[in-house]
């Protein structure tokens, strides 16, 4: 299902509403979470939902999708820091997992993380953003669809884009640990968020193009329970004519 929202904030609100729905149905849900600019408004809304007593996350098990290798948890560029800032420090105690950032044995950390996800029963809900090269989590172009949690080597375009966030004088790590594509695809429900015109071409290619590991997000076409949340800016190019609207039952 494709849902077009008025603004990027509304995309975040709609994603948070899906998290809420999932937690009301199953308070001990296992939920996979993304980072990046796109989901910030989702986290803001989740914090509000918790504060107003609409939902409780206490019983849920949260798993972040990925983390850079080589950064400490305290590093403002680590995803652990991002999660503290946008969610964890602002709500009740919660069971939160993220691959260790400063591990000496990333391969081992990746396989332990996969085991933890499996022990938890896999993801009930997996929230995703999308990279401009079509990556999901840090599954870069060329990652096999059969991949489980693994050590990923980042694509030059990802490093270049992320270097803007790291700022001058800081080297972007070129290695990360990411939940794999197979693990993501086993999720009972996947919600993909994409906002802004910058993401529209890759989203279009992912949704309507060939299903290929060159465009990792294209695998999502095979998922039986996928929700795509986009803002108007992103949707404009994705659905470029009326027949596509019609075809997608919009
Ligand atoms: C990052 C993360 C992804 C995220 C993507 C998009 O590299 N590893 O999980 O979905 O890039 O980020 P943004 O929302 O900032 O465009």
| pLDDT tens column, 205-238 | 999 999 999 999 999 999 999 999 999 999 987 7
Query: Please, which pLDDT band fits residue 243 given cuts at 50, 70 and 90?
Result: low
Query: Please, which pLDDT band fits residue 122 given cuts at 50, 70 and 90?
Result: very high
Q: What is the mean pLDDT of residues 152-178?
A: 86
Look up the pTM and report it.
Answer: 0.94
Contact 246, 238 (CB under 8 A): no
Spacing, Cα 243 to ligand 1 middle (Å) = 30
The model's pLDDT over 92-104, given as tens digits with 9 standing for 90+, comes to 789 999 999 777 8
Which residue has the least CA distance to atom 12 on ligand 1? Answer: 36
Q: Dihedral (C-alpha) 68, 71, 72, 75: value to the nearest 10 degrees?
A: -100
Place of tokens 């990333």: 106
| Domain spans of the chain, in order of start | 2-247
At 237 the pLDDT is 76
Spacing, Cα 192 to ligand 1 middle (Å) = 11
Spacing, Cα 228 to ligand 1 middle (Å) = 15
Q: Which of 34, 159, 163, 178 best tests ligand 1's pocket when mutated (most atoms within 8 Å of CB)?
A: 34
Contact 180, 139 (CB under 8 A): yes
CB count in 10 Å sphere of residue 232: 15
DSSP-assigned beta bridge partners for residue 191: 127, 227
Query: Please, which pLDDT band fits residue 240 given cuts at 50, 70 and 90?
Result: low
Which residue has the least CA distance to atom 10 on ligand 1? Answer: 129
CA angle 202, 205, 207 (to 5 degrees): 110
The answer on pLDDT for 248 being more than 70 is no
**What's the CATH class of domain 2-247?**
alpha beta
> Ligand 1 within 6 A of 68 CB?
no
Q: At what angle do helices 40-51 and 79-86 cross, to 10 degrees?
A: 40
Which of 138, 214, 151 has the alpha carbon at shortest distance from 181? 138
Residue 105 and residue 69: Cα distance in Å, rounded?
Answer: 10
Give kind and range of the element (H or E) at residue 159.
helix 156-166
Contact 39, 127 (CB under 8 A): yes
Q: At what angle do helices 40-51 and 8-25 cross, to 10 degrees?
A: 50
CA distances from 216 to 64, 164, 193, 195 (A): 18, 23, 15, 18
The answer on pLDDT for 36 being more than 60 is yes
């Amino acid at each position: 299902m494709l849902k077009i929202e008025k603004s990027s904030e509304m995309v975040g609100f709609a994603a948070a509403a899906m998290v809420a729905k999932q937690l009301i149905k199953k308070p001990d849900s296992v939920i996979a979470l993304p980072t990046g600019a796109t989901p910030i408004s989702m986290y803001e809304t989740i914090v509000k939902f918790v504060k107003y007593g609409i939902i409780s996350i206490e019983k849920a098990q949260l798993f972040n999708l990925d983390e850079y290798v080589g950064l400490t948890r305290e590093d403002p560029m680590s995803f652990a820091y991002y999660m503290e800032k946008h969610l964890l420090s602002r709500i009740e105690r919660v069971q939160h997992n993220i691959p260790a950032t400063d591990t000496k044995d990333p391969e081992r950390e990746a396989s332990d993380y996969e085991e933890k996800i499996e022990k938890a029963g896999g993801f009930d809900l997996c929230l995703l953003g999308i990279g401009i090269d079509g990556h999901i989590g840090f599954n870069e172009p060329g990652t096999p669809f059969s991949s489980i949690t693994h050590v990923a080597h980042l694509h030059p375009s990802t490093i270049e884009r992320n270097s803007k966030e790291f700022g001058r004088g800081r080297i972007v790590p070129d290695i990360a640990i990411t939940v794999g594509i197979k693990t993501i695809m086993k999720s009972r429900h996947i919600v993909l968020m994409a906002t802004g015109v910058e993401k529209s071409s890759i989203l279009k290619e992912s949704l309507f193009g060939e299903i290929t590991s060159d465009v990792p997000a294209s695998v999502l076409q095979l998922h039986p329970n996928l929700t795509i949340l986009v803002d108007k800016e992103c949707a404009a190019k994705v659905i470029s004519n009326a027949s596509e609207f019609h075809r997608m039952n919009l």
